[in-house]
């Protein structure tokens, strides 16, 4: 027994000694020299851009293209019939990104010297993400969002007007901060560190958001101040400035649909609304957005046929004799199933935040409404040309002279809105946001819609918010209106 105690004591002594020895150099042994111990803005920026742009593209595919009748579904047609339920992607991804954006801004602000360019980029990304959230849902957490570290676990919902005030203020501040002499920007998968392009993006977004609220506020002076001083407030001047993420053939920057099943991709087809309009205009963008039907190609007479939106399951699947007689979405939007990625198809399938073409249509509308100086016709035609050029197409001879394209004052806003709608194909939810403000084009609910013949104008608040932050949500609902997909947001009332 005595020997047993002696052995036990010796073992314990060895364990204590070993533990003490390990404790003396614990950090050295357990520190990976290949992993950074501190986070810098350049490490946060790539995923901030990637996650938000990819979510925006996902919403374009699942909802944005459908509700704006660029595409229609032939299977699992609930979205096309407005049986939406909750759409929480923008909310969840958006607030996760906003936390990282706040971290990036804080790190840049605390650096010595202060990293002003990263501060500015954080403000731009914050503004864009906040706009997606508020334009999709209306009133939302903003001033108290991302403040969990300050024990603000139940943030209030700010009125949309307040959110827009913050967005416009932040974008103006970003413009003032950005300068090449304020340091290099690394980790920038959008513009490759070109701060001049970020500056142009900030001011182009300002014009977008000023037009967004132009039915609620006099924005003439603000618009003209930006447009009238290109040195201080530069905007996009060509497609080379587009805020559009160029995807790569390999992870993690692959096009979001790259690994989708062919069957899932083929549930979505060309909408008759877009197809008929492009065919009427003899518009070659149709061959980018869609492919000829399988049956027509087999017959040696390629033809594009769209399916009406809002059909029931049987009607959608059997329309025009079935799936082989309805056009699929363009192959460049699903690279995996149609060959090796190339410069051409990767250029088309970009993650769009905002383009030069959209900016030109914004300026055309503003000029037509006398909100800025300039010729509406010139901006309008530059917008059309930019949209064609984005897809490596030239504007066909005679295209601009067609009766349904040629600019006239009598139809100016309808023409601008229609061409802007075409140019916003697969651009997130932007087409839907803009349509809610302008009513152009004339989108009609499908025959089997389940929303009382109304096109939805917002998303429902997530049920998690109703469960965990109920007082704040209820205050927002009391102010904004019923939590339904038919309640317009502030700028849409």
**Domains defined for the chain, CATH in brackets:** 41-243+456-492 (1.25.40.390), 262-276+291-297+307-348 (no CATH)
273-323 pLDDT, tens digit per residue, is 999 999 999 999 999 999 999 999 999 999 999 999 999 999 999 999 999
415-471 pLDDT, tens digit per residue, is 999 999 999 999 999 999 999 999 999 999 999 999 999 999 999 999 999 999 999
pLDDT of residue 251: 80
372-419 pLDDT, tens digit per residue, is 999 999 999 999 999 999 999 999 999 999 999 999 999 999 999 999
Q: What is the mean pLDDT of the chain?
A: 92
* Structure confidence at residue 165 as a pLDDT band (50, 70, 90): very high
pLDDT of residue 255: 85
Exposed/middle/buried for 486, CB within 10 Å: 0-12, 13-18, 19+? middle
**Residue 283: partners with Cβ closer than 8 Å, 6 or more residues away:** 277, 399, 422
* Structure confidence at residue 32 as a pLDDT band (50, 70, 90): low
Is residue 348 pLDDT above 70, yes or no?
yes
* Structure confidence at residue 252 as a pLDDT band (50, 70, 90): confident
Burial 196-235 (b: 16+ CB within 10 A, else e): ebbbbbbbbbbbbbbbbbbeeeebeebbeebbeeeeebbb
pLDDT of residue 6: 41
* Structure confidence at residue 338 as a pLDDT band (50, 70, 90): low
Residue owning tokens 């995923």: 47
* Structure confidence at residue 9 as a pLDDT band (50, 70, 90): very low
* Structure confidence at residue 19 as a pLDDT band (50, 70, 90): very low
**What dihedral do alpha carbons 150, 155, 157, 161 form, nearest 10°?**
10
Is residue 335 pLDDT above 70, yes or no?
no
Give the H or E element holding residue 353: strand 351-354
Burial 341-361 (b: 16+ CB within 10 A, else e): beeebbebbbbbbbbbbbbbb
Angle between helix 116-137 and 89-110 (nearest 10): 160
Nearest C-alpha neighbor of 58 from the set 33, 26, 92, 11 = 92
- Per-residue pLDDT, averaged over 337-356, amounts to 79
Q: What's the Cα-to-Cα distance from 144 to each of 102, 107, 164, 470, rounded to whole Å?
A: 12, 19, 15, 15
Q: Is 398 left (phi over 0), alpha (psi -120 to 50) or beta?
A: left
Is residue 29 pLDDT above 60, yes or no?
no
pLDDT of residue 33: 59
CB 374 within 8 A of CB 275: no
**Residue 38: partners with Cβ closer than 8 Å, 6 or more residues away:** none
């Amino acid at each position: 027994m005595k020997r047993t105690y002696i052995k036990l004591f010796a073992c314990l002594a060895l364990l204590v000694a070993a533990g003490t020895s390990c404790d003396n150099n614990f950090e050295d042994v357990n520190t990976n020299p290949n992993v950074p111990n501190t986070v810098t803005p350049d490490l946060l920026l790539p995923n901030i851009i990637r996650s938000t742009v990819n979510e925006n593209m996902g919403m374009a595919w699942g909802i944005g293209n459908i509700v704006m009748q660029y595409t229609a579904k032939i299977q699992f047609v609930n979205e096309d019939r407005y049986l939406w339920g909750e759409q929480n992607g923008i909310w969840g991804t958006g607030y996760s990104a906003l936390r990282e954006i706040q971290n990036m801004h804080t790190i840049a602000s605390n650096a010595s010297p202060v990293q002003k360019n990263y501060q500015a980029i954080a403000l731009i990304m914050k503004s864009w993400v906040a706009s997606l959230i508020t334009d999709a849902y209306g009133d939302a957490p903003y001033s108290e969002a991302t403040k969990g570290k300050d024990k603000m676990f139940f943030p209030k919902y700010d009125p949309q007007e307040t959110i827009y005030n913050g967005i416009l203020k932040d974008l103006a501040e970003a413009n003032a901060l950005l300068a090449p002499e304020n340091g290099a920007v690394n980790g920038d998968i959008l513009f490759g560190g070109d701060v001049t392009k970020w500056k142009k993006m900030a001011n182009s977004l300002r014009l977008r958001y000023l037009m967004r609220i132009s039915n609620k506020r006099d924005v003439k002076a603000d618009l003209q101040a930006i447009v009238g001083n290109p040195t201080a407030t530069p905007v996009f001047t060509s497609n080379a400035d587009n805020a559009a993420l160029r995807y790569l053939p390999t992870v993690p920057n692959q096009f979001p649909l790259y690994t989708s099943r062919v069957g899932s991709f083929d549930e979505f087809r060309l909408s008759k609304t877009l197809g008929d309009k492009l065919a009427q205009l003899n518009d070659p963008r149709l061959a980018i957005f869609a492919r000829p039907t399988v049956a027509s190609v087999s017959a040696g007479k390629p033809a594009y046929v769209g399916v009406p939106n809002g059909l029931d399951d049987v009607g959608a699947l059997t329309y025009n004799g079935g799936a082989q007689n309805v056009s699929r979405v363009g192959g460049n939007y699903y690279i995996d199933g149609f060959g090796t990625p190339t410069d051409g198809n990767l250029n088309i399938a970009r993650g769009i935040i905002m383009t030069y073409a959209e900016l030109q249509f914004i300026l055309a509308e503003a000029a037509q409404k006398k909100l800025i100086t300039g010729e509406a016709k010139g901006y309008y035609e530059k917008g059309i040309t930019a949209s064609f050029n984005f897809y490596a197409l030239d504007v066909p001879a005679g295209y601009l002279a067609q009766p349904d394209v040629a600019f006239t004052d009598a139809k100016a806003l309808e023409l601008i809105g229609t061409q802007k709608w075409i140019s916003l194909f697969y651009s997130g939810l932007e087409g839907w946001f803009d349509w809610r403000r302008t009513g152009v084009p004339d989108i009609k609910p499908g025959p089997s819609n389940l929303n009382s013949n109304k096109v939805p104008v917002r998303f429902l608040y997530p049920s998690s918010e109703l469960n965990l932050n109920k007082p704040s949500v209820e205050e927002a609902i009391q102010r904004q209106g019923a939590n339904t997909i038919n309640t317009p947001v502030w700028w849409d009332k």
